[in-house]
Amino acid sequence: MLPLHVGLQKPHKGCLANSIADFLMLPELLASFGHLGYDVVEMVLADQDGWDRYEAAKWLTMRRWLEANPDDEFAKDVRAKLTSEPERYAAYTREYLGWGVFALMPR
């Protein structure tokens, strides 16, 4: 079995991060808010189904934008992103990242 940091090298690149050090596990993320002088007063975390719906809505938005703006100077870039994102999301982001909103208050 590979050490955790070796096994995460490819997924972190697929998640568009520079290194695995760019990520914190939820307990460490919550602690980091405290180190910055904030109390966490609310937290909403998406489950995997919610995360899927959030990502898929972005793809639909890109598709609709392409249909409405086929000659826009950004159309080629949007098309490339729409072509690559569903596979990248399924291969990397879905299993390795979560999504959450945190309300913080200064201490």
pLDDT at residue 2 tops 70: no
Task: Report whether 101 contacts 29 (CB < 8 A).
Answer: no
Residue 15: Cβ within 10 Å count: 20
Least confident of 4-18, 45-59, 63-77, 79-93: 4-18
**Looking at the domain assignment, is residue 16 inside a domain?**
no
**Looking at the domain assignment, is residue 68 inside a domain?**
yes
**Looking at the domain assignment, is residue 91 inside a domain?**
yes
**Looking at the domain assignment, is residue 66 inside a domain?**
yes
Domain count, the chain: 1
Rounded distance between C-alpha atoms, residue 54 and residue 47, angstroms: 11
Task: Report whether 99 contacts 47 (CB < 8 A).
Answer: no
Domain span holding position 46: 25-106
**Looking at the domain assignment, is residue 10 inside a domain?**
no
**Looking at the domain assignment, is residue 5 inside a domain?**
no
For the whole prediction, is pTM greater than 0.85? no
**Looking at the domain assignment, is residue 11 inside a domain?**
no
**pLDDT score, position 16:** 63
**Looking at the domain assignment, is residue 18 inside a domain?**
no
pLDDT at residue 52 tops 90: yes
Q: Report CA 104 to chain centroid distance, whole Å.
A: 20
> 3-class DSSP state for residue 23?
coil
Q: Identify the band that residue 30 occupies on the pLDDT scale cut at 50, 70 and 90.
A: very high
Task: Report whether 66 contacts 82 (CB < 8 A).
Answer: yes
Task: Report whether 99 contacts 50 (CB < 8 A).
Answer: yes
